[in-house]
Amino acid sequence: MSISERIHERIYGRRIRVLAQNLSKMIPRHVSVLDVGCGDGLLAHSIGRLRPDLSFQGIEVLLRPETHIEVREFDGSRIPFSENSFDVVMMVAVLYHTNDPCVLLREVSRVATQSIVLKHHLLTGWMSGPTLRFMDRVGNARHCVALPFNYWRPGQWTAAFERLGLEVEECKERLGAVLVAGQCAV
């Protein structure tokens, strides 16, 4: 394991705790949640420990040998569930691993009945691109995750939400990332 991977491992637990605490406050009570691009499901599991009223299922392009929640394989574009299958869909650091984030956002809108909870990095400032690419490579290359580095500027997010009929209900930027709870198009 490289030095950068060891550093990543040390901060991973803290990252999971902080995200679980913040995301657990954004998810409505007593709902079913689909975690898209869930990895090993540790984040969803951690949220579930804070919020036992929630039920989680995950989907992932690259299945891991051991997971913390039930995880089903998907192709990264088409979510293998019917329309309105889950109350909430959660995506954490997923869309920049796709070639066309709007395709997956549209799919998420299709299967969510109440809301979408999204955590993503914003491309702002001249060093944000290189920094995000470095951190993405450190955290994901060893898992063979696709790395197209498709980070968006704030205006791109706004345009995508408008095109898909999504409304931002809450946005938190204090984590160095954006957490958005969005109402799904009806």
Rounded to an integer, the average pLDDT of 85-114 is 92
pLDDT on residue 168: 83
Q: Kindly tell me if the per-residue pLDDT of 185 is higher than 50.
A: no
pLDDT on residue 71: 98
d(C-alpha 137, C-alpha 169), whole Å: 31
Q: Kindly tell me if the per-residue pLDDT of 65 is higher than 90.
A: yes
Rounded to an integer, the average pLDDT of 46-63 is 97
177 exposed, middle or buried (CB, 10 Å; 0-12, 13-18, 19+)? middle
* 26 token code pair: 């954004």
The lowest-confidence range among 13-17, 28-32, 137-141 is 137-141
* Domains of the chain in sequence order: 3-183 (3.40.50.150)
Please state at what angle helix 154-164 crosses helix 101-111, rounded to 10 degrees: 40
Q: Which residues contact 54 (CB under 8 A, 6 or more apart)?
A: 27, 30, 31, 32, 33, 47, 48
pLDDT on residue 56: 98
Q: What is the mean pLDDT of the chain?
A: 84
Q: Kindly tell me if the per-residue pLDDT of 14 is higher than 80.
A: no
The lowest-confidence range among 52-66, 68-82, 172-186 is 172-186
d(C-alpha 92, C-alpha 43), whole Å: 9
